[in-house]
């Protein structure tokens, strides 16, 4: 397994991008829409770091200060098996496995309710190499 990124919920996406970019030197690596909620995401990186910070904005969110941790994301070899193992360890399924041509995806809450995104990128069939691009842009709540 591989820890991929941390997603935090924000109340104003543009303001948060400006804060992390101008204040901490992070660069926007990508942006996307969340079809399921009408929300938007922005992925940011610090130069020289492999870590990603995903900023998530959802319309109509019941956001309150201190609730901004949105989810932790892990790349796994088998989404269904990993979700089942986490449930056996006290987690609960939030979203069943979603199969797409580019990836398999599920959400499981840990025993304290923190969402864990499980994703398995699938190889591209056209070129036969590489991970599926942009799987984060369609993954959130």
The catalytic site residues sit at: 117
Cα distance from N-terminal residue to C-terminal residue, the chain: 22
Spatial contact of 62 and 10, defined as CB atoms under 8 Å apart: no
Q: CA–CA separation, 107 vs 92, rounded Å? A: 9
Nearest CA-CA partner of 30 in 18, 20, 45: 45
Sorted by sequence, the CB contacts under 8 Å of residue 80 that are 6+ apart come out as 97, 104, 106
For the CA atoms of 124, 41, 34, 79, the dihedral, rounded to the nearest 10 degrees, stands at: 50
Q: CA–CA separation, 20 vs 42, rounded Å? A: 11
């Amino acid at each position: 397994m591989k820890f991929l990124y941390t997603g935090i919920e924000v109340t104003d996406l543009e303001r948060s991008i400006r804060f992390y970019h101008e204040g901490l030197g992070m660069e926007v690596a990508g942006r996307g829409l969340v079809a399921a909620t009408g929300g938007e995401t922005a992925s940011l990186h610090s130069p020289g770091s492999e870590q990603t910070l995903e900023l998530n904005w959802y319309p109509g969110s019941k956001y309150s200060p201190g609730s901004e941790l949105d989810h932790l994301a892990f790349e796994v070899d088998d989404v269904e098996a990993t979700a089942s193992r986490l449930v056996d360890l006290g987690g609960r399924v939030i979203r069943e496995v979603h199969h797409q041509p580019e990836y398999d995806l599920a959400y499981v809450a840990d025993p304290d309710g923190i969402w864990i995104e499980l994703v398995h990128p699938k190889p591209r069939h056209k070129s036969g190499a590489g991970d599926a691009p942009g799987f984060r842009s369609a993954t959130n709540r």
